Amino acid sequence: MSTRPDYQAILDEIHQEVLPQVGAGRVADYIPALGRVPADRFGMALRTVAGETFKVGDADESFSIQSISKVFTLTMALGLEGEELFRRVGREPSGTAFNSLVQLETENGIPRNPLINAGALVVADALLSHLEDAKGEVLEFVRRLCESDEVEYDQEVVRSERAWGDRNAALAHFLKSFGNLESSIESVLDLYVHHCSLAMTCSQLAAAFQFLAQGGKSPCDDRQLLTPSLAKRTNALLLTCGVYDSAGDFAYRVGLPGKSGVGGGIVAVLPERWCVAVWSPGLDPSGNSLAGTRALELLTTRTGESIF
Amino acid sequence: MSTRPDYQAILDEIHQEVLPQVGAGRVADYIPALGRVPADRFGMALRTVAGETFKVGDADESFSIQSISKVFTLTMALGLEGEELFRRVGREPSGTAFNSLVQLETENGIPRNPLINAGALVVADALLSHLEDAKGEVLEFVRRLCESDEVEYDQEVVRSERAWGDRNAALAHFLKSFGNLESSIESVLDLYVHHCSLAMTCSQLAAAFQFLAQGGKSPCDDRQLLTPSLAKRTNALLLTCGVYDSAGDFAYRVGLPGKSGVGGGIVAVLPERWCVAVWSPGLDPSGNSLAGTRALELLTTRTGESIF
Amino acid sequence: MSTRPDYQAILDEIHQEVLPQVGAGRVADYIPALGRVPADRFGMALRTVAGETFKVGDADESFSIQSISKVFTLTMALGLEGEELFRRVGREPSGTAFNSLVQLETENGIPRNPLINAGALVVADALLSHLEDAKGEVLEFVRRLCESDEVEYDQEVVRSERAWGDRNAALAHFLKSFGNLESSIESVLDLYVHHCSLAMTCSQLAAAFQFLAQGGKSPCDDRQLLTPSLAKRTNALLLTCGVYDSAGDFAYRVGLPGKSGVGGGIVAVLPERWCVAVWSPGLDPSGNSLAGTRALELLTTRTGESIF
Amino acid sequence: MSTRPDYQAILDEIHQEVLPQVGAGRVADYIPALGRVPADRFGMALRTVAGETFKVGDADESFSIQSISKVFTLTMALGLEGEELFRRVGREPSGTAFNSLVQLETENGIPRNPLINAGALVVADALLSHLEDAKGEVLEFVRRLCESDEVEYDQEVVRSERAWGDRNAALAHFLKSFGNLESSIESVLDLYVHHCSLAMTCSQLAAAFQFLAQGGKSPCDDRQLLTPSLAKRTNALLLTCGVYDSAGDFAYRVGLPGKSGVGGGIVAVLPERWCVAVWSPGLDPSGNSLAGTRALELLTTRTGESIF
């Protein structure tokens, strides 16, 4: 552990090794805007807490971060409400699909955790209760985190999500029927659809998640976004709930807290060391990037670094 | 079986016997308009296929028929589509609550049967695909069945249902996400909310269900609303799926095909003999009228008449 | 309804019509002794309350009646305990597979009804609490019902069931863990395996179920096996729970209370008229005889007789 | 991180702080032998990879380690079979109670992970396939790990578990029915009941789990019990599946891989630093030691050390 691994060399090796898997899996096509993304992309960016960045492949190409964005809204809501938030949403792995309504019914409208769709809707609702222009503030928050004004809501994805968003509308009405949404369904879905439509690059994501590697402190301005304790606890949530119903397998193979999105992105954190973002659109049956998960497994194996 | 039971005397006895239970149970209050109904009401009307009617108590007071209306829309849809309808909706008892989303998720958006909420939404959608003015035609259909122009949509209940209809909106969006709704969610919910808001009396209901006691033939104009085979099959659906998750208990105790509503009404059919409607607003935990179910149990016990 | 249908002619027609389906479906092979039964068999016997019997095909060939036997043990237990029995077992359709443990877990060890495996184990336990030689008395009871000493436990099936009975042993231990078995697991499973291994012919079954068509009165000796009320209620149980998770479909298509077994037999009852038994080993995916169900559907269609 | 925390002082503080909670919660009483344990016990032992041990309270009193023992058998099975083991058992959190049969049914007899009861039965079965005297070898393995010949199977607990083990017998028969047990049910349950009945002290447990803090290497003889990769992966399993259906909450509050038992013990691991064992018999509703979980939460808060 004394000498730092040669991250650039390791990323280059990983790139070579996963290339045969890039293009495998299934590109998310539940909305047309995602289905059009070329399957052959692969990018990866690792940024250390010292501020060094290492990249490979399409690390600077933007993609739809989708559910990864739930970590940003969760962070904002925790900043605003602290642990009060957990009166409305649990923190246990769901053991079922990310958009399942089943547990919601048997558990009286309290979503299992803030990283499944139902939970993220509750988080969005919490933001709307506190912020005048929640949509604008989420965008501003993410831009500051990665020090880039280029981050935008992808309006084509927004339109596509809205047109095909019946499952999420069902979840929102269901939550409302249990009294677990305060704002209008319209505004909750609008905020949710927007933050899921954020377009970012691996480099931007690796920077934006840096605060989770450094005890909640923003890398750009040293502001404490979360207390050290809440930052650790957010990492714990990522580990147990961040990758849909593959939490066990991801922890087993990769050994890092992480969050994936159906756009093919995954971000993972090694506390006190670094943060990594990987992107490849082909998904495994659980909805996680196939080549991306493999790349992260190789990263922790080659560097010998993980939380375990 | 040779001599006809003295129905009026039996109804009078039943009335006396259930009086202590009238007012027990819980009046449905999920919408304000229902919660305001006085709990102390009890009415019952039996009409034979020969056209005689026997009544007791509040048999001529209107109440919100709620889910009983699903039999009318099902009959109309079967008349229009025949058994084709069952490509979009099953015919098995659900074994779970009437507004459950659980089975819908595990069974790919095909509701278990047309008498639970999800199934009735599919039936409403089927009507909208065939009829220009579905709402008007449903009302007309019911009025002709009971030969009364006084039957109306209760607009106060309509407004109340709309304001509190998140669970049904969740079901509708969920069905849509599986591709099992053709018309707009707005129009499906509007038709559904209207037919559930029909206000009718026990006497009107006993007349309106008469066609199920006489092989599908309308009592007023001898029109064949359903083929004899489909009429029998509709009765079979009522028996296995008509009283929420109490199908087994209702069949066991009452022994008749029936349909209940959370307004406290229940209609039951003895094929080739008679049809009976009972109303009392206090519900048992499954959502069926407490005094109403007891009255029907007494009816089949005292007359010795049931399908078994 | 005035003239009796020509049952023999109708059975002959049905035989011709279902012949192409005989041999289709899948013969139960979860135990070797059942898997060896030839798939091409078809038999049917109808017996009226007047005592006339009509037969076709292999109506006098013995087969393993399997779950049909649960009606015999239920009748004996109801005779001994009356409705007290329902403190330990429900009477709702299960909506899931016949040997499911799921509901048992969520419903605290109370089986949904006495005709699924878990419920039948509770019924067997009830018999063991009352009878010294339950196994002997069940055999004697069935022999008297059909007036035939040829009915036997098929010892090869008994051995086969025992060797492959882990699912039922799991159910029994599970029931025991909830305190819902009094006798030893060994003795409960032994009785259960024996009664499921009864070998009978269609003619014998049609006779043995006659009491359910005549208000609980045994045809052989006029003994009242069940009160008229309990006989009706047993028919209600058959209708809602007798054919695994196809109750709705069977009621819809056939319109009679019935009980099926994985040996390919089905018995059905038209109260006050007749009782019918059919046998053909090929099963549909729910575990009911394919040709048998079709034959019963044709029977109620051709005769115009059903309970609805 | 440069100076080592004063573990002894911290343990002493924790002891004082949790004292009011010791005795709260419910002592496991599903078997009489556990129900007799005094509720007022509390012990804790922390052992660093450097070999230093810190203790407080009843750290040297033996208790029934129950499910904690599953980590020992899992380690042995992984040593014998490597990742092949995962063809018969998954590695996802179950999201349901530790002894649930539900998922087993819907997932074809493959337990969700090796740390729930069903999974541990499969692991026991794997050991029986490889070892002549599995029971003796498990005991020998644990004794060597903690360098103490005093560790024993508590025969009173063994007898008690056997007498009350219907739920586990149900699980075993169920697994067998899916073909996922090779040895006899009798021998699998015997091994399982024995390893759950191991009696150990906090000091012994902290020593015995040391190998998971040091990359799989046994502290006593430097033998590599697991490869470094498998040791990390076992820690990942503990984190996602080690504390019944509280994985998310435990990760959130404590932030360490851990394994609990209904005897009131919990062991947790901070890779490369230390291992800690805590014991207090009062359980929370999920079955984890109430005071024990609180003590671990205080430990990671006070030391500032956790994996996140």
Q: What residues of chain A lie within 8 A of the CB of B106, using their CB?
A: 102
Q: What are phi and psi of D200, to 5 degrees?
A: -145, 165
Å between B296 CA and nearest CA of chain C? 14
What integer pLDDT is reported at residue D222 of this predicted model?
A: 83
Report the C-alpha gap between B83 and B96 in whole angstroms: 25
Helices and strands counted in chain C (H then E): 14, 10
Angstrom CA distances, A258 to A50, A81, D214, D288, stand at: 20, 23, 24, 26
Is B106 close to A106, i.e. CB distance below 8 A? no
Is B93 close to C247, i.e. CB distance below 8 A? yes
Å between D163 CA and nearest CA of chain C? 11
pLDDT category at D1 given cuts 50, 70, 90 is very low
Catalytic residue among A94, A244, A260, A269: A244
* Among the listed residues D142, D128, D129, D171, the one whose alpha carbon sits nearest the alpha carbon of residue D75: D142
Say if CB C169 and CB D173 are below 8 A apart: yes
* Tokens, residue C119: 């419920």
What integer pLDDT is reported at residue C100 of this predicted model?
A: 67
Q: What are phi and psi of C114, to 5 degrees?
A: -80, 0
CB of A173 within 8 Å of a chain B CB? The answer is yes
Number of other residues whose CB lies within 10 A of the CB of residue C230: 18
Determine the residue among D177, D185, D189 to mutate to test chain C binding: the one whose Cβ has the most chain C Cβ atoms within 10 Å.
D177
Q: What is the pLDDT of residues A14-66, one digit of tens each?
A: 999 999 999 899 998 888 888 889 999 999 999 999 999 999 999 999 999 99
Angstrom CA distances, A96 to A67, A113, A116, B39, C100, stand at: 16, 12, 10, 42, 20
- Is the pLDDT assigned to residue D96 strictly greater than 70? no
Give alpha helix (H) positions in C49-165: 69-81, 102-106, 117-130, 134-145, 155-163
Q: Which residue has the tokens 């009509």?
A: C54
Q: What residues of chain C lie within 8 A of the CB of B235, using their CB?
A: 308
Report the C-alpha gap between A100 and D102 in whole angstroms: 17
Q: Which residue of D has its CA nearest to A234?
A: D252
Long-range CB contacts (within 8 A, 24+) of C128-135: C128/C182, C128/C183, C128/C187, C128/C188, C128/C191, C129/C182, C129/C183, C130/C80, C130/C81, C134/C191, C135/C190, C135/C191, C135/C194, C135/C195
Angle, helices B185-196 vs B117-130, to 10°: value is 110
Q: What residues of chain D lie within 8 A of the CB of C185, using their CB?
A: 166
Catalytic residue among A55, A70, A135, A259: A70
Q: Which of C251, C252, C307 is the closest to B308 by Cβ?
A: C307
Report the C-alpha gap between A8 and A2 in whole angstroms: 18
Respond yes or no: is residue A70 known to be catalytic. Answer: yes
Q: What is the pLDDT of residues A234-292, one digit of tens each?
A: 999 999 999 988 999 999 999 999 999 999 999 999 999 999 999 999 999 989 999 99
Number of other residues whose CB lies within 10 A of the CB of residue D301: 17
Is D170 close to C170, i.e. CB distance below 8 A? yes
Å between C36 CA and nearest CA of chain B? 32
- Is the pLDDT assigned to residue B93 strictly greater than 90? no
Is B93 close to C96, i.e. CB distance below 8 A? no
Give the three-class secondary structure for D286.
Answer: coil
Determine the residue among D102, D121, D164 to mutate to test chain C binding: the one whose Cβ has the most chain C Cβ atoms within 10 Å.
D102
Respond yes or no: is residue C260 known to be catalytic. Answer: no
Number of other residues whose CB lies within 10 A of the CB of residue C6: 13
pLDDT category at A1 given cuts 50, 70, 90 is very low
Number of other residues whose CB lies within 10 A of the CB of residue D133: 9
CB of D169 within 8 Å of a chain C CB? The answer is yes
Report the C-alpha gap between D22 and D42 in whole angstroms: 7
Report the C-alpha gap between D298 and D270 in whole angstroms: 14
CB of A183 within 8 Å of a chain B CB? The answer is no
Is C271 close to B307, i.e. CB distance below 8 A? yes
* Tokens, residue B263: 């307004």
pLDDT category at A98 given cuts 50, 70, 90 is low
- Is the pLDDT assigned to residue D2 strictly greater than 70? no
pLDDT category at B211 given cuts 50, 70, 90 is very high
Report the C-alpha gap between B50 and B274 in whole angstroms: 8
Beta bridge partners of C278: C44, C266
CB of C132 within 8 Å of a chain D CB? The answer is no
What integer pLDDT is reported at residue D29 of this predicted model?
A: 85
Report the C-alpha gap between D69 and D192 in whole angstroms: 9
* Structural domain includes residue D39: yes
Å between B150 CA and nearest CA of chain C? 31
* Tokens, residue A264: 């093919």
Q: What residues of chain A lie within 8 A of the CB of B166, using their CB?
A: 173-174, 176-177, 185
Is C252 close to B246, i.e. CB distance below 8 A? no
Number of domains in chain D: 1
Span B218-238, average pLDDT: 92
Residues of chain C falling short of pLDDT 70: 1-2, 95-100, 102-103, 106
- Is the pLDDT assigned to residue D12 strictly greater than 60? yes
Q: Which of D102, D166, D170 is the closest to C102 by Cβ?
A: D102
Strands (E), chain B: 26-27, 43-48, 53-57, 63-64, 152-153, 198-200, 258-260, 265-270, 274-279, 282-283
Mean residue pLDDT across chain A: 94
Determine the residue among D74, D86, D92 to mutate to test chain A binding: the one whose Cβ has the most chain A Cβ atoms within 10 Å.
D92
| Integer Rg of chain B from CA | 18
Q: Which residues of D are catalytic?
A: 67, 70, 192, 244, 262
Give the three-class secondary structure for C183.
Answer: coil
Find how far residue B156's CA is from the centre of its chain. 20
What integer pLDDT is reported at residue B164 of this predicted model?
A: 81
Angstrom CA distances, A117 to A45, A189, A243, A246, A293, stand at: 27, 11, 12, 15, 21
Report the C-alpha gap between B207 and B52 in whole angstroms: 10
Report the C-alpha gap between D235 and C302 in whole angstroms: 68
DSSP B225-242: SS-HHHHHHHHHHHHHHT
* Structural domain includes residue B308: no
Span B104-128, average pLDDT: 91
What integer pLDDT is reported at residue D56 of this predicted model?
A: 98
State which residues form the domain around B46: 7-303
What integer pLDDT is reported at residue D244 of this predicted model?
A: 82
What integer pLDDT is reported at residue B95 of this predicted model?
A: 66
Number of other residues whose CB lies within 10 A of the CB of residue C237: 26
Q: Which of A90, A251, A308 is the closest to D271 by Cβ?
A: A308
Q: What is the pLDDT of residues B260-299, one digit of tens each?
A: 999 999 999 999 999 999 999 999 998 999 999 999 999 9
Percent of chain A surpassing pLDDT 70: 96
* Structural domain includes residue A2: no
Catalytic residue among C27, C142, C193, C262: C262
Q: C-alpha dihedral over B302, B306, B308, C2, to 10 degrees?
A: 120
Tell me, what DSSP letter sits at residue D217? B
Q: What residues of chain B lie within 8 A of the CB of C249, using their CB?
A: 91-92
* Structural domain includes residue C1: no
Is D236 close to A252, i.e. CB distance below 8 A? yes
Q: Which residue has the tokens 């009405």?
A: A173
Q: What residues of chain B lie within 8 A of the CB of C253, using their CB?
A: 233
Q: Which residue of A has its CA nearest to B165?
A: A177
Q: Which of D100, D106, D174 is the closest to C170 by Cβ?
A: D174
CATH number at residue C125: 3.40.710.10
Determine the residue among C2, C49, C92 to mutate to test chain B binding: the one whose Cβ has the most chain B Cβ atoms within 10 Å.
C92
Cβ-Cβ contacts under 8 Å between B and C: the total is 106
Strands (E), A29-125: 43-48, 53-57, 63-64
For chain B, the chains sharing at least 3 beta-carbon pairs closer than 8 angstroms are: A, C
* Structural domain includes residue B78: yes
Give the three-class secondary structure for C303.
Answer: helix
Respond yes or no: is residue C252 known to be catalytic. Answer: no
Q: What is the pLDDT of residues B22-58, one digit of tens each?
A: 989 999 888 888 888 999 999 999 999 999 999 999 9
Determine the residue among B116, B121, B164, B166 to mutate to test chain A binding: the one whose Cβ has the most chain A Cβ atoms within 10 Å.
B166
Q: What residues of chain A lie within 8 A of the CB of D307, using their CB?
A: 271, 307-308
CB of D252 within 8 Å of a chain A CB? The answer is yes
* Structural domain includes residue B1: no
Catalytic residue among C70, C135, C176, C217: C70
Is B248 close to C237, i.e. CB distance below 8 A? yes
Catalytic residue among C89, C176, C197, C244: C244
